[in-house]
């Protein structure tokens, strides 16, 4: 019966078993190879990676950054370009000379700042496989210190002004670049997620100050200590005692033109400020631009932006990511839902504050609290959207003061949610601009070998395709949905039999799901795009364990290239 299922499915491969080792597995008839690793030079004349030091500070903004995440593929003048996020640093790995990864000075901080952000690289395939074209004029690193413009309705607002930028329109750097997006006009979108962790205060009582109580520090988790990056001790920009508005200048979606290495990245305040996972761009029936976005924190929300203007190829795209309406999702228990507009009328807030403190605006209109919205993807063959709700291990415990209660609700139906689920919505009138929709759960992850209740998962979960914590997600041209996981890989207890983090593919029509790839132990699989000819799939391996992929020395996050042995189309 199993063989028959495979033969009848739209999946052109035999699913693989769960794995627990320190390498990558793909189905029979497929191959994988490393394209580029943390520390690999992306420019000529830059020193090779050194396992003893983790690379020098001088080279750190000329090498492929750490912890690859979202990425997108661009074909420009016949060249294959990739834009790739570097989400965060594994400090003890990146600073091997320190005892526990705590920066010992400004040099260490600068190295961490440089290893994050974005790489734009040209890649080329020859008889030896894919490689980075090191002398390409398109190769570029964007870091925590790269100048960028702030545009849209909140640009220039007092809350965005600092001593270094009294205009509130020019910021330095983009950080915690998690998921990605791609516009119809060929630019890259990078999404700022856990930006709060980079800020701290050299004054103990900083979060008692009136400005910080009023401005949403608590709702966004900005505290005096940060998450161990310790930037604030060595770089005053990140010291909220000295620069209280600097945190307001991150938490945005940033647009980058990968075809112009001299271009200045643009932060779009129209898309709202929160812990952005990715930005899924799709056109409404009338050509307006719709951007779906998740806020990845327990009890936070799902958002949608709809532009006022219409996208017309070849015409100006000015304002298409800023002038419009930001909505937040309300899911009803009867499997209907609505997008609630965030306006001065509905929220009682001024527009710039709605955007800067989008979470507070969402609470004001009664948005539905979610089990951590990660990637959103839309089906190119049907008017429907999907969002990975990765897990919720502490329902009822608010991550940040000022957030809403997080009861069990329709799309988040399990009290203790170790496994996660994927919610799917069907916009009314087959139009992504519609303000009402129907919804269902495409899958509830679970473990049918351990549980026989709701924690066994939905019927499309079997002992052969179990996984937990869906996170990355993208559709291929055939309308199959690829699902990447960032979950518990200890392979014990609730997670027995699931093995390492993995990539699966689902059929939206039948609900069938099959395991395609497994990553090395310790890793998360995140980031997915295809070469222009769709004969190669690029997949990101973040925070691998062991000494992957080199076999000895430090573990190195990397992008791999997966192909069919017959060089056929892969999705």
| Residues making contact with ligand FEO (CB under 6 A) | 87, 178, 193, 277, 296, 374
Using the minimum distance from each CB to Ca ion, give the nearer residue, 189 or 383.
189
How near is the Cβ of 186 to ligand FEO at its closest, in Å? 24
User: Degrees (nearest 5) of the Cα angle 198, 295, 108?
Assistant: 15
How near is the Cβ of 194 to ligand FEO at its closest, in Å? 7
Checking DSSP bridges between strand 336-341 and strand 324-331, what pairing results, if any?
antiparallel
Contacting residues for 498 by C-beta, under 8 A, at least 6 apart: 18, 447, 466, 467, 468, 487, 488, 489, 491
Contacting residues for 429 by C-beta, under 8 A, at least 6 apart: 285
Using the minimum distance from each CB to ligand FEO, give the nearer residue, 70 or 224.
70
Using the minimum distance from each CB to ligand FEO, give the nearer residue, 468 or 531.
468
Using the minimum distance from each CB to ligand FEO, give the nearer residue, 280 or 512.
280
Are 269 and 322 contacting, i.e. CB atoms less than 8 angstroms apart? Answer: yes
Q: CB under 5 to 8 A by kind: which of ligand FEO, Ca ion, none does 193 bind?
A: ligand FEO
How near is the Cβ of 178 to ligand FEO at its closest, in Å? 3
Using the minimum distance from each CB to Ca ion, give the nearer residue, 196 or 347.
196
How near is the Cβ of 324 to Ca ion at its closest, in Å? 25
Which residues of the chain form contacts with Ca ion (CB under 5 A)?
374, 471, 486, 524
Distance CA 529, CA 540 (A): 9
- For residue 349, the 8-state DSSP code is S
How near is the Cβ of 540 to ligand FEO at its closest, in Å? 11
How near is the Cβ of 372 to ligand FEO at its closest, in Å? 7
Using the minimum distance from each CB to Ca ion, give the nearer residue, 66 or 374.
374
User: Degrees (nearest 5) of the Cα angle 462, 466, 469?
Assistant: 140
Q: CB under 5 to 8 A by kind: which of Ca ion, ligand FEO, none does 66 bind?
A: none
Distance CA 100, CA 95 (A): 8
How near is the Cβ of 359 to ligand FEO at its closest, in Å? 15
Q: CB under 5 to 8 A by kind: which of Ca ion, ligand FEO, none does 353 bind?
A: none
Distance of CA 478 to the CA centre of its chain: 23
Contacting residues for 345 by C-beta, under 8 A, at least 6 apart: none
Using the minimum distance from each CB to ligand FEO, give the nearer residue, 374 or 512.
374
How near is the Cβ of 501 to ligand FEO at its closest, in Å? 13
Long-range contacts of 405-410 (CB under 8 A, 24+ apart): 405/299, 405/369, 406/298, 406/299, 406/369, 407/369, 409/331, 409/333, 409/368, 409/369, 410/331, 410/332, 410/333, 410/334, 410/335, 410/368, 410/439
Kindly state the helix (H) or strand (E) to which residue 210 belongs, with its residue range.
helix 210-214
Chain residue at closest Cβ approach to Ca ion? 486
Question: For the residues of 529-568, what is the DSSP string, one character each?
Answer: EE-TTSSEEEEEEES--TTTTTSSSS---EEEEEEETT--
Using the minimum distance from each CB to ligand FEO, give the nearer residue, 193 or 235.
193
- Phi/psi at 17 (nearest 5 deg)? -80, 160
Q: Which residue has the tokens 């304002």?
A: 319
How near is the Cβ of 390 to Ca ion at its closest, in Å? 5
Question: For the residues of 382-437, what is the DSSP string, one character each?
Answer: SS-EEEEE--BTTTTS-SSTTPPP---BTTB--SSBSS-EEEEEEEGGG-TT-SEE
Buried b (16+ CB within 10 A) or exposed e, 341-363: bbbeebbebebbbbbbbbbbbbb
Distance CA 94, CA 299 (A): 32
Q: Which of 431, 414, 434, 435 is nearest to 423 (CA)?
A: 414
How near is the Cβ of 87 to ligand FEO at its closest, in Å? 6
Using the minimum distance from each CB to Ca ion, give the nearer residue, 246 or 374.
374
Q: CB under 5 to 8 A by kind: which of ligand FEO, Ca ion, none does 40 bind?
A: none
CA-CA distances (angstroms) from residue 384 to 409, 431, 459?
21, 9, 21
Using the minimum distance from each CB to Ca ion, give the nearer residue, 89 or 368.
89
Strands (E), 335-398: 336-341, 373-378, 385-389
Strands (E), 226-270: 253-256, 266-268
Checking DSSP bridges between strand 524-530 and strand 536-542, what pairing results, if any?
antiparallel
Q: Which residue has the tokens 């925590």?
A: 144
Q: Which of 450, 468, 458, 552 is nearest to 515 (CA)?
A: 468
CB count within 10 Å of CB 133 equals: 17
How near is the Cβ of 486 to ligand FEO at its closest, in Å? 7
How near is the Cβ of 506 to Ca ion at its closest, in Å? 18
How near is the Cβ of 336 to ligand FEO at its closest, in Å? 27
Q: CB under 5 to 8 A by kind: which of Ca ion, ligand FEO, none does 300 bind?
A: none
Q: CB under 5 to 8 A by kind: which of ligand FEO, Ca ion, none does 122 bind?
A: none
Using the minimum distance from each CB to ligand FEO, give the nearer residue, 69 or 215.
69
Using the minimum distance from each CB to ligand FEO, give the nearer residue, 87 or 280.
87
Using the minimum distance from each CB to ligand FEO, give the nearer residue, 294 or 427.
294
């Amino acid at each position: 019966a199993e063989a028959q299922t495979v033969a009848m499915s739209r999946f052109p491969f035999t699913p693989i078993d769960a794995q627990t080792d320190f390498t990558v597995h793909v189905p029979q008839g497929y191959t994988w190879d490393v394209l580029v690793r943390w520390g690999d030079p992306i420019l000529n004349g830059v020193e090779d990676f050194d396992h003893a030091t983790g690379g020098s500070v001088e080279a750190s903004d000329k090498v492929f950054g750490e912890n690859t995440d979202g990425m997108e593929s661009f074909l420009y003048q016949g060249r294959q370009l990739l834009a790739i996020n570097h989400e965060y640093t594994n400090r003890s790995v990146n600073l091997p000379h320190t005892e526990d990864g705590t920066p010992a000075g400004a040099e260490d901080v600068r190295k961490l700042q440089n290893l994050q952000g974005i790489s734009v690289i040209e890649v080329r395939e020859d008889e030896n496989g894919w490689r980075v074209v090191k002398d390409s004029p398109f190769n570029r690193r964007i870091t925590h210190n790269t100048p960028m413009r702030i545009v849209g309705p909140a640009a220039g607002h007092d809350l965005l002004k600092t001593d270094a930028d009294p205009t509130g329109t020019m910021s330095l750097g983009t950080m915690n670049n998690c998921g990605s997006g791609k516009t119809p006009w060929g630019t890259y979108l990078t999404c700022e997620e856990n930006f709060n962790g980079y800020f701290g205060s050299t004054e103990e009582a900083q979060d008692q100050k009136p400005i910080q109580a009023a401005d949403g520090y608590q709702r966004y988790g900005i505290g005096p200590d940060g998450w161990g990056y310790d930037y604030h001790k060595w770089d005053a920009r990140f010291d909220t005692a000295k620069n209280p508005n600097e945190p307001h200048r991150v938490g945005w979606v940033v647009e980058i033109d990968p075809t112009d290495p001299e271009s200045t990245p643009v932060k779009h305040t129209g898309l709202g400020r929160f812990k952005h996972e990715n930005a899924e761009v799709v056109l409404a029936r009338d050509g307006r631009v719709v951007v779906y976005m998740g806020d990845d924190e327990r009890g936070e929300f799902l958002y949608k932006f709809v532009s006022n203007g219409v996208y017309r190829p070849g015409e100006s795209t000015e304002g298409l990511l800023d002038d419009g309406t930001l909505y937040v999702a309300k899911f009803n228990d009867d499997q209907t839902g609505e997008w609630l507009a965030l306006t001065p009328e509905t929220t009682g807030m001024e527009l710039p504050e709605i955007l800067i403190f989008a979470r507070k605006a969402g609470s004001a209109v009664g948005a539905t609290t979610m089990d951590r919205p990660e990637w959103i993807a839309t089906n190119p063959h049907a008017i429907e959207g999907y969002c990975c709700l990765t897990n919720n291990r502490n329902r009822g415990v608010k991550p940040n003061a000022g957030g809403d209660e997080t009861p069990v609700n329709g799309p988040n139906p399990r009290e203790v949610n170790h496994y996660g689920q994927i919610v799917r919505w069907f916009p009314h009138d087959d139009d992504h601009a519609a303000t009402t929709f129907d919804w269902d759960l495409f899958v509830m992850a679970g473990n049918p070998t351990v549980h026989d209740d709701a924690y066994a998962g939905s019927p499309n979960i079997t002992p052969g395709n179990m996984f937990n914590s869906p996170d990355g997600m993208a559709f291929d041209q055939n309308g199959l949905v690829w699902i990447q996981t960032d979950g518990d890989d200890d392979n014990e207890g609730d997670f027995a039999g699931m093995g390492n983090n993995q990539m699966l593919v689902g059929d939206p029509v039948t609900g069938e799901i099959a395991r395609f790839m497994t990553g090395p132990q310790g890793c998360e699989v995140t980031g997915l795009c295809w070469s222009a000819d769709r004969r190669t799939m690029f997949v990101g391996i973040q925070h691998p364990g062991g000494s992957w992929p080199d076999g000895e020395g430090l573990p190195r996050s990397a992008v791999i290239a997966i192909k069919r042995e017959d060089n056929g189309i892969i999705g």
